[in-house]
Structure 1
Amino acid sequence: MATMRMEHIRVSHAELAKETDMFSPANLIGVGSFGSVYKGIMEWDDEKVVAIKILNLQQQGASSSFIAECEALRGIRHRNLVKIITACSSVDFRGNDFKALVLEFMENGSLEQWLHPEVNERCPMRNLNLEQRVSIAIDVASALDYLHHHRPVPIVHCDLKPSNILLDDDMTAHVSDFGLAKFLSESTDPLSVSASLVAIKGTVGYIAPEYGLGSEISTRGDVYSYGILLLEMFTGKRPTDEIFNESLDLHRFVETAFPTQIMDIIDPQLIRKEEYEVVNDIRQRSKRYKGALFGCTAITRPTNIGMNCSMDL
C-alpha cells in the first residue's frame, strides 16, 4: 500500500518528487531530527500548497517516529493541531524504502523563527507583539488540553518547543511534529503509560528533568515543556541560552525577577517604540509599589503560569 492505514488519497514517491521539484533545496523549509520538510504543490488537489516531511530512514528511530506520527494524527480534528493530509510508505526510484507525511502548510513558519529570527536581505525582521504572544499561548494550551483530556486515549506530545509550533496566515498556532508522541494506557490511573521510557528523547531544555531520573511518561511532562515555552515567549531567551548554567536556569531567571522586576527581563521586542515611555513608567511604579503592576497583567499572568508549569515535578 502506498499509504499507512489512513482514509486519505494515496500518493507515490514519484508524485511527491514531482511536487517538490525532485526535492529541490529551493523547496526545503526545515530539517528535523528524523528528516527534512519540503514545500510542495499538489497538482491533484487544486494546486494546494503542502508541507512534505521526508523521513531519513538511515536515522535510528525515524521509522518508529513515522508510525508514531501517523497514529497520533489519525482521526485528530482540532484547530490548533497540524492536520495530516496523507502518508506515503513506498519505495524510491532506487528501490529503497521511502516514507513521508503530507501535512497542511503553515504560511508563517514556526514560532522559533519569530522569537529568534535570522535577519538577512531575504528574510525581513519579524516580531510578535504582546497580543499575538498571548493568543499563541492560548492556542497551544488548547491543543494540549485536547490531547490530554479529550481523546479516547490521552496523547503526550513529548517534544513541545517553539520549532514545533507552526503559525498559519492568520497567526493561529498549530502544534506539530508528533514523532515522539506517546499514548497513555487505558487504565484508571491517568498517568500510567503504555510506552517504554527508553524511547523518550525530547529536546534539552524543554523536556522535563524528571524523565532523565526515570519518571514515567505523563501529561505533566508536556505541562513542564509548556511552562518553559511560555517563559521563552515572554523573555525572548531560550532555555539553553549561554547565560544559564547549573545554578541558573530559565525558570530561576524569571522567578528571581518576579514580580517587581519582571519588566526588566521581558523580551525587548515586546516593547514597541511608541509604548516605551508607558512601559518604563510601569516598570518604575512596579518597583515602587512592590509588584502592583497595574496594566501589565498580560505579561505577569503568562509568566506566572510559565513558572508554575515549569516547576520540578
Structure 2
Amino acid sequence: MALKEVKIFKDTTLLGKYRLCSIIGTGRTGVVYLAEHISLGEYRAVKVISKHTADHRQAYQEAMILKKLRHPGIPIIYDVEEDVTNYYLIEEYLEGKSLYHIVNTEGPLSMAMIVSVGIQICRLVDYLHSAKPNPILYLDLQPKNLLLCRDIVKMVDFGQAIFLNEVSSIEKRYGTVGYAAPEQYLDEDLDERTDIYAVGELLRFLRGREDEKCFSGSKKGGDLTAIIKRCREEKREKRYQSVKELLEQLELLEHLLNLQTACGRQKITLPSLTIAVAGLSPGAGATHFSIGFAQYLTILGYPCIYEERNSSGAIMEMAEYLGCQPDSAGIVRVCGCDLRPEYGDWVKFKEPEGLWRVYDYGQDWKSAGDSCCDAVVLVAGGKWWNIKEAEKGADNIKESPGWYLVCSQATGRCRLRLSVKGAKKRCLKAPYFADPFHLNSDAADFYKALFTSITGLPKGRGRGVLRYLKGKVGAFTEKLQR
C-alpha cells in the first residue's frame, strides 16, 4: 500500500483518545497529524505509518531513538501504538514554522539570524553525536525538518536517524536531494561528517543559494561563505571533522558580528516599554506605522509584539491570506514580526514577560491617551491638505511630554505652526515606505529618531569605547582567519 492510501480523516477519534484535527506534515514513511488529547485538552503530533510500506519497521527505530533523548529542541515521544494496519508515534506537538516555509514566504534570513540558527542546529547535532553509549546520526538535515518556534530551533522527523554502530546494517539509503552528502548516494561509510555536509547546505539555503557572495564577515575569507564551503567539501577529510569544530567557528563569527554591530550601532539594554498608537482620521496610517515600529524594534534586538486594539480585523485577514496559524499565546508571526489580532475582552492569554509592546488603537486616540502607556503616538496625514488635522494633533501633545505626533508619508509642504516650547521635537515626519515588514533606509532612520526621542538615548558615543570595540573586531577577525 502506498503512503497516499493511509486514509484518516479530520475529526476521526484515534485509539479512543485522540481527535485528529489536520495534517501538519508528510514524509516518505508516514503522515503527521495534529491531534487533540480528548481527556487532557492538549495537542499532540501523531505520526501514522502504514504497515504496508516497505520501511515500516523504521517506526520502531525512530521510537527507540527518541525515547532516549531529552533535549528542549527535540520532541518528547509519549507513546507508540499499533493496530492491524498502522503504527502510531505519539509525540510532543511543537508550535512553529519550518525553515523551508519561512525562507520561501519571507525570503532569506538576516546574517545575524543565520548564524544564530546555525549555532542552534550545531548544538542539536552535537547532542546527537555525543549520545552515550551510542552516537546518533540524523542523516536528513533539511529545512522542512527544522522548526523555528519563537526564534528557538526544534528538530523533528527522526525517520532517517540511526545509531552510529548500526550504520553498516542499513539496507536502503535515503537522503533529501540538495542536502544529502555525496557518500549517502554511494556505497561508502557514513559518519558525523555526513551531517556536517548537510549543515553547510542548510546555511546556504537560509541565506539564499543564488547569492554566493553575500554576508562577508572579513576580507580574507574568515566568513560565512568560507564556513559553508568547508562544510560542503566533497571529500570528508576536507570538511570540519566534528560538529564542535564547526560550532566554534560559528560562535566566533557571532562574536565578530556583535562587535561590528556595537561599533556601528551600540546597543544599550533598556527596560521594555509600551507604546500606544492611534490615528487622527481614517486612513492616516496608524496600523502601517505600528507594524513598522514593532518590526524596527525587533530588528534592533528588542523582543516586541504588535497588538491590535481595534476592530479592523486586519491582522487576522493578513494571517488567513498567508496561511499563518496563531500559537497558544494567540500570536501570529509574519516576516519575523510577532502580531496579536484583536480577540475581544473575553479571551485571555498567558502574557510573555520582558517584551516591548506596540498597541494599535485605530482611530480611538482618547483610549490610547488613557492607556497609561509609556508613550502615546498620534498619527496624522502628512499631505498639505492635512495641516489642520496635524496641528490639532500637535495641540494634544503640547502639555503631555510622553505624547508624539507623526505626520505619515509627509511631503515638504507639510509645515506645522507650533507655539509650545519643546513640542517641535516631538513632532516627526514619516517618509513613505511601501512595506512595514521590510523597512527601507529612510524608514529605519525615521524610526531611529523616534526611538531615540522616546527612550532619551544620547545620539553620540565615546570615542574610547569605539577604539576598544574596533580592536576586539580585529582580534576576532584574525582568529576566524586562522
**TM superposition score category, shorter chain reference:** 0.5 to 0.7
Tell me: CA distance 1:194–1:235, structure 2 relative to 1, closer, same or farther (3 Å): closer
Mapped contact 1:81–1:174 kept (Cα < 8 A): yes
Unaligned runs of 5+ in 2: 1-12, 237-482
Q: Does 1:177 align with 2:157?
A: yes
Tell me: CA distance 1:236–1:88, structure 2 relative to 1, closer, same or farther (3 Å): farther
Tell me: CA distance 1:99–1:149, structure 2 relative to 1, closer, same or farther (3 Å): same
Tell me: CA distance 1:292–1:126, structure 2 relative to 1, closer, same or farther (3 Å): closer
- In structure 2, the partner of 1:28 is 23
What is the deviation of 1:126? 7.3
Q: Does 1:309 align with 2:231?
A: yes
Residues 208-242 of structure 1: CA distance to partner in whole angstroms, max 9, x if unpaired?
112322111211111111111111111256xxxxx
> How far apart, CA to CA, are the structure 1 residues paired with 2:203 and 2:78?
29
Residues 95-115 of structure 1: CA distance to partner in whole angstroms, max 9, x if unpaired?
x33211122222222111111
Match of 1:204 among 172, 177, 186: 177
Residues 170-208 of structure 1: CA distance to partner in whole angstroms, max 9, x if unpaired?
2211112111111122xxxxxxx5432433211122111
- In structure 1, the partner of 2:207 is 234
> How far apart, CA to CA, are the structure 1 residues paired with 2:16 and 2:107?
34
SS of 1:207's equivalent? coil
What is the deviation of 1:302? 3.4
What does 1:9-158 correspond to in 2, within 5 Å?
A: 13-15=14-16, 18-20=18-20, 27-45=22-40, 47-61=41-55, 63-89=56-82, 91=83, 96-117=84-105, 128-158=109-139
What is the deviation of 1:152? 1.7
- In structure 1, the partner of 2:348 is none
> How far apart, CA to CA, are the structure 2 residues paired with 1:32 and 1:43?
26
> How far apart, CA to CA, are the structure 2 residues paired with 1:126 and 1:235?
8
Mapped contact 1:197–1:216 kept (Cα < 8 A): no
SS of 1:88's equivalent? strand
What is the deviation of 1:13? 3.8
Mapped contact 2:108–2:207 kept (Cα < 8 A): no
What is the deviation of 1:76? 0.5
Q: What letter corresponds to residue 101 of structure 1 in structure 2? A: L
SS of 2:168's equivalent? coil
> How far apart, CA to CA, are the structure 2 residues paired with 1:108 and 1:230?
19
> How far apart, CA to CA, are the structure 2 residues paired with 1:78 and 1:201?
25
> How far apart, CA to CA, are the structure 1 residues paired with 2:87 and 2:14?
8
Mapped contact 2:14–2:20 kept (Cα < 8 A): no
> How far apart, CA to CA, are the structure 1 residues paired with 2:207 and 2:107?
15
Residues 230-267 of structure 1: CA distance to partner in whole angstroms, max 9, x if unpaired?
11111256xxxxxxxxxxxxxxx84xxxxxxx22xx6x
What is the deviation of 1:142? 0.5
Tell me: CA distance 1:52–1:126, structure 2 relative to 1, closer, same or farther (3 Å): farther
- Higher relative strand content: 2
Normalized against structure 1, the TM-score is what?
A: 0.64
SS of 1:202's equivalent? coil
Mapped contact 1:153–1:183 kept (Cα < 8 A): yes
> How far apart, CA to CA, are the structure 1 residues paired with 2:176 and 2:25?
17
Q: What letter corresponds to residue 163 of structure 1 in structure 2? A: K
> How far apart, CA to CA, are the structure 2 residues paired with 1:108 and 1:126?
17
> How far apart, CA to CA, are the structure 2 residues paired with 1:106 and 1:199?
30
What is the deviation of 1:56? 3.0
- Aligned residues: CA RMSD: 2.6
What is the deviation of 1:165? 0.6
Mapped contact 1:147–1:156 kept (Cα < 8 A): yes
Q: Which of these two proteins has the greater Rg computed from alpha carbons? A: 2
The alignment covers a number of residue pairs equal to 223
Tell me: CA distance 1:51–1:233, structure 2 relative to 1, closer, same or farther (3 Å): same
> How far apart, CA to CA, are the structure 1 residues paired with 2:147 and 2:168?
27
Tell me: CA distance 1:82–1:130, structure 2 relative to 1, closer, same or farther (3 Å): farther
Mapped contact 2:174–2:184 kept (Cα < 8 A): no
Q: What letter corresponds to residue 61 of structure 2 in structure 1? A: A
What does 1:257-268 correspond to in 2, within 5 Å?
A: 262-263=213-214
Q: Taking every aligned residue pair, what percent have the same amino acid on both sides?
A: 27
Mapped contact 1:13–1:98 kept (Cα < 8 A): no
What does 1:245-256 correspond to in 2, within 5 Å?
A: 254=212
Tell me: CA distance 1:75–1:130, structure 2 relative to 1, closer, same or farther (3 Å): same
What does 1:179-194 correspond to in 2, within 5 Å?
A: 179-185=159-165, 193-194=166-167
Mapped contact 1:182–1:195 kept (Cα < 8 A): no
